[in-house]
Amino acid sequence: MAETLGPELPLDLSGWGSRRRALEEALRTAIRGGRLVAGARLPSSRDLAAQLGLSRGTVTQAYEQLVAEGWLTARQGSGTRVAEGTAESRVAEGTAEAVALRASPRHDLRPGRPDAYAFPRQAWARAMRHVLREAPTEVFGFGDPRGRIELRTALASYLGRTRGVRIDPANLIVCSGYTQALGLLAEVFAELGVRTAGMEDPATDDHVRLLAGRLRVADIPVDCAGLRVDALRASGAEVAVCTPAHQFPLGMSMAPERRSELLAWADDSLGWIVEDDYDGEFRYDRHPIAALQSRRPSRIVYVGSTSKTIGPAVRLGWIACPPLLLEPLTEAKRRARETHPLDQLALTRMIDVGDYDHHLRTVRRGYRRRRDTLVAAVRSGLPGARVRGIDAGLHAVLELPSGLTEQAALEALRAASVDTHSLGRYARGDRHPPSLVVGYATPPAHAYPAALDALIRGLG
C-alpha cells in the first residue's frame, strides 16, 4: 500500500526564499533522499496546508510546479503522488532491483527520443473521451486500409498549412509510425522491380537494416549541404531515402541548390524520393523549411509521424504518396497490421480543436531551452569540444576535443552513468571527426540539469 505524507515526515521550509519555493524544494529533497518513494500519495492541498501552516493556494501552486517538472503526478480520483523513477535510492541494497538500477545508466541522453513526461495527457484524454462518446459504430469494425477519412482530411489540411505538403486526402495512408511506413515502401518498391535504394550515410541503423531486407542499399555520403546527388547518380539507385528538413544524425538542412539537384535526378531517372520529414516540426532559429514534396508531388513520397511530437506510445504515421503508388501501397497496408482507429480519431480531434498546435508550441519552447542550456554548458565546461546540428530537432552532434576517441568518450560516460550514442553507430563510412550524438529531450525536466552535469564531468 502506498504511504501518505504525515506528521512523521517533517519538512524543513527554512532558507529557500518564498514559502512556496521552500515547500517545492523540501519536497524535492524528500524525494531525492528516498524519504518519499515512487507512488507515495501526498495529502490533499488542504490537509498539507493545515499541517504546515500555509495557505491552500501556496500548496496547490507547489504541487502544480512539481507535477510540471515530473517529480509528482496528479490524477482525478488518485490524488497527488510521487512519480515513478524519482526515488531510486529507496531500493534496498543487494536486491534484484538495486542490481538493475546500478547496471542501467542513470542519465539517459540517447537521441531520437522525446520527453515522455511531456506527453499531453489531458488533451489526449479529452480527445479520447470525445471519440468514445461520439464515434460511429463502424469505427469498431474493419475499415479503409488507408485509415480514417477524418484523420486523412485533417492531416491534408494540417500538413499543407504547416509543411507546405500538397496532397489530396484520398492519397494519404495512415500507418503505425515511420518504421511501418518504410517497411511498406520497401515492400512495394521491391514488387515494382526496384533493385537499389540510396540511403544517406550516416542514417538510423534500424532503418538501414529494414530497407536492406528488401532492396540493395547504396550508401550515399552527406556533406554540409546534405545528401550528395552526384554520388546518388553514380550509385544507380532508383529510390533515394533522405531527411531534407533535418538530417539525422548530422543535423543540417538540405541546401536549396542540393534540393534542386535531387529533383533533377528524380526527373531525369524517373526515380522516387522518400522524404522523411525528420524533426520538421522542431525548428528553433528560423521558420520551418517547406517540405520538398510540395515541388514534385508526383515523384516524392512524404512520410511523417507523431513519435516525437506526441510520443512513441501513440503509433501513428502517414504516407503522402504519388498517385502511381497509391494502389500498391494501399494493398500492402491492407496486409499489414491495422492502425488503431480510435487513436486516429483522437489525433483528429486534437488537430481540429487546436490542442495539437498548442502542445507543439509548448514542447518546442521547452526543447529550445534545453538545447541552449546544452550549448552553454559545453562552451563553459568543454572548451575543446564543438556542438553542431542545433538549428532543429531533439539532439545535437558533440564533436569531441582533439585526441579523444568515440570509444574512450563512451567508456568515460559509462563510468559517469550517462547513456548516449557515438556518431560511428550511424555512419557506414569513416568521413567524420569523432563525435557523440546527444539527445537533449529524453530526460524529464527535473533530471536534465544533473544529466548535463554528468555529461560535462564525464568528458572533462
Single out the residue in 50, 70, 102 at which a domain terminates.
Answer: 102
Do 266 and 179 reside in the same domain of the chain?
yes
Do 377 and 424 reside in the same domain of the chain?
yes
In 3D space, the residue among 346, 393, 357, 358 whose CA is nearest the CA of residue 174 turns out to be 346
Q: State the residue range of the domain holding 48.
A: 19-102
Q: Look at residue 10 and tell me if it is in a domain.
A: no
Q: For residue 243, what pLDDT is reported? A: 96
DSSP state of 41: B
Do 300 and 444 reside in the same domain of the chain?
no
Residues 6+ apart with CB under 8 A from 100: none
Q: Look at residue 14 and tell me if it is in a domain.
A: no
Do 292 and 394 reside in the same domain of the chain?
no
Do 287 and 335 reside in the same domain of the chain?
yes
Q: Look at residue 3 and tell me if it is in a domain.
A: no
In 3D space, the residue among 342, 283, 362, 331 whose CA is nearest the CA of residue 133 turns out to be 342
Do 388 and 347 reside in the same domain of the chain?
no
For residue 340, CA distances in Å to 138, 142, 344, 404 come to 13, 10, 6, 47
Q: Look at residue 199 and tell me if it is in a domain.
A: yes
Q: Which residues of 84-120 are buried (b: 16+ CB within 10 A; e: fewer)?
A: eebbbeebeeeeeeeeeeeeebbbbbbbbbbbebbbb
Specify the DSSP element, H or E, that contains 58.
helix 56-69
| Phi/psi at 391 (5° precision) | -70, -25
Residues 215 and 197: beta-carbon distance below 8 Å: yes
Do 75 and 186 reside in the same domain of the chain?
no
Kindly report the CATH number assigned to the domain that includes residue 246.
3.40.640.10
Single out the residue in 47, 71, 102 at which a domain terminates.
Answer: 102
The total number of structural domains in the chain stands at: 3
Q: For residue 85, what pLDDT is reported? A: 67
Q: Look at residue 11 and tell me if it is in a domain.
A: no
Residue linked to cell 527520443: 113
Do 344 and 410 reside in the same domain of the chain?
no
Do 224 and 151 reside in the same domain of the chain?
yes
Single out the residue in 35, 70, 102 at which a domain terminates.
Answer: 102
Do 92 and 112 reside in the same domain of the chain?
no
Instruction: Print pLDDT tens along the chain (460 aa).
Output: 344 454 445 677 765 467 888 888 888 888 877 788 888 889 888 888 888 888 898 999 889 888 877 788 888 777 898 987 665 444 444 444 444 444 578 999 999 999 999 999 999 999 999 999 999 998 888 889 999 999 999 999 999 999 999 999 999 999 999 999 999 999 999 999 999 999 999 999 999 999 999 999 999 999 999 999 999 999 999 999 999 999 999 999 999 999 999 999 999 999 999 999 988 889 888 777 889 999 999 999 999 999 999 999 999 999 999 999 999 999 999 999 889 999 999 999 999 999 999 999 999 999 999 999 999 999 999 999 999 999 999 999 999 999 999 999 999 999 999 999 999 999 988 788 999 999 999 998 889 999 999 999 999 8
Q: Look at residue 196 and tell me if it is in a domain.
A: yes
Q: Look at residue 72 and tell me if it is in a domain.
A: yes
DSSP state of 411: H
Kindly report the CATH number assigned to the domain that includes residue 377.
3.90.1150.10
Q: For residue 431, what pLDDT is reported? A: 80
Q: Look at residue 212 and tell me if it is in a domain.
A: yes
Q: For residue 22, what pLDDT is reported? A: 82
Q: For residue 26, what pLDDT is reported? A: 85
Do 255 and 373 reside in the same domain of the chain?
no
Residues 394 and 367: beta-carbon distance below 8 Å: yes
Burial class for 329, CB neighbours closer than 10 Å (0-12, 13-18, 19+): buried
Grid coordinates representing 381?
565546461
Grid coordinates representing 360?
507543439
Do 348 and 441 reside in the same domain of the chain?
no
Kindly report the CATH number assigned to the domain that includes residue 54.
1.10.10.10
